[in-house]
Amino acid sequence: MSEILLSGISKDFNNKKVLKGINLSVQEGQMISLLGPSGCGKTTTLKVIAGLIEPDGGDILMKGQSILSTPIEKRGTVIVFQDYLLFPHLTIRQNIGFGLKMAKADKNYREDKVQEMLDLMELKGQEEKYPNQLSGGQKQRVALARALAVEPKVLLLDEPFSNLDLRLRETMREFICSLQKKLNITTILVTHDKEEALMISDKIAVMLEGEIKQFGSPVDLYENPVSEEVANFFGEANYLTGTIEKGYFNSSIGKFQTHINHHSSVRAMIRPEKIEISSQMYKTGIKGTVIKKRYAGDRVHYRILLKDIELKCIAATKEIFHIGQEVSLNINGNNIVFYEG
């Protein structure tokens, strides 16, 4: 049974459909990302789960029971916003204990729990300081400590890394991932950062214009996007048109073996890094000429011209090709994703 299940959740704001029937099933202990561009409805979805926004339609079940009419503080969910919303006039200790105080938890229990959180979040020595005396990463750990102190069943994180600089972002990402696994807490994280979602999630829900377009593992989403819309959102893609016949995809640049057998006209999607480039002019390779090159340190982005088609290719920097160079391309048919043409 799902820890949390959204079924047909809809929400309009000023006659604009912001959520158009969201379905999502999250299992206990999973880390899920809601990934989508700004304004697609990610935060609204989190707020609906937390009880901060009432949906117009649909239901939310927690372990099979509807929580729609359950008050916010009894839902077992807690939301951490990107700007942390710490209380500036309270010390770190008081901030962390705030939720427990509101819940009228016993004083001894509260003190023990705050201590446990200070240890868990590596905040020892900071307890009597005020939020403005802490770094961004420390503030975020205080916000997490305050959220986790009340032992929620579901942790909701809204863009948790967006206010941190690049290095701190990586450290906090690692910290939150290992904490989430250690506590085995069901977590839904909102992000617009694809790489972040790919790196930290058990599953990703791609959200575009108020709808979940695909829900799957990071590998599935990147390697087998269900539509061109999802493929384009996730990264760069090359498209070729052609037909599939007897297990082969026939296109203007060549014939590729595929596992698909039915006859049809298709559009084929190939990720730029799935194309192998070589300076060796193999007989089986597809001949092309490098016409553009962008060096990015750990990789190089190329444009390769083949007859009248330009392909985007991304390669490691082991061998760097120059503009005008004749190269040979190799594409494995298993790395081509097909959409109906």
Ligand X SMILES: Nc1ncnc2c1ncn2[C@@H]1O[C@H](COP(=O)(O)OP(=O)(O)OP(=O)(O)O)[C@@H](O)[C@H]1O
Contact residues toward ligand X (CB under 6 A) are: 13-14, 18, 36, 38-44, 192
Minimum CB separation of residue 137 from ligand X in Å reads 21
Residue 268 contacts residue 251 (beta carbons within 8 Å): yes
Nearer to ligand X, 38 or 108 (CB): 38
Nearer to ligand X, 52 or 150 (CB): 52
Name the CA radius of gyration of the chain, rounded: 25
Residue 180 contacts residue 202 (beta carbons within 8 Å): no
Pairing of strands 286-295, 326-331: antiparallel
Residue 93 contacts residue 149 (beta carbons within 8 Å): no
Residue 240 contacts residue 252 (beta carbons within 8 Å): yes
Nearer to ligand X, 46 or 198 (CB): 46
Minimum CB separation of residue 72 from ligand X in Å reads 16
Minimum CB separation of residue 197 from ligand X in Å reads 13
Backbone dihedral angles phi then psi of residue 105, each to the nearest 5 degrees: -70, 150
Nearer to ligand X, 3 or 159 (CB): 159
Rounded Cα gap, residues 310 and 303, in angstroms: 6
Q: Which helix (H) or strand (E) holds 286?
A: strand 286-295
Minimum CB separation of residue 92 from ligand X in Å reads 27
Helices 92-102 and 136-149, packing angle to 10 deg: 20
Nearer to ligand X, 40 or 172 (CB): 40
Nearer to ligand X, 42 or 139 (CB): 42
Nearer to ligand X, 163 or 258 (CB): 163
Minimum CB separation of residue 217 from ligand X in Å reads 22
Minimum CB separation of residue 5 from ligand X in Å reads 20
Minimum CB separation of residue 61 from ligand X in Å reads 21
The distance between the two most distant Cα atoms of the chain, rounded to a whole number of Å, is: 77
Q: C-alpha distances in angstroms, 189 versus 48, 136, 197, 211, 263?
A: 14, 19, 9, 16, 41
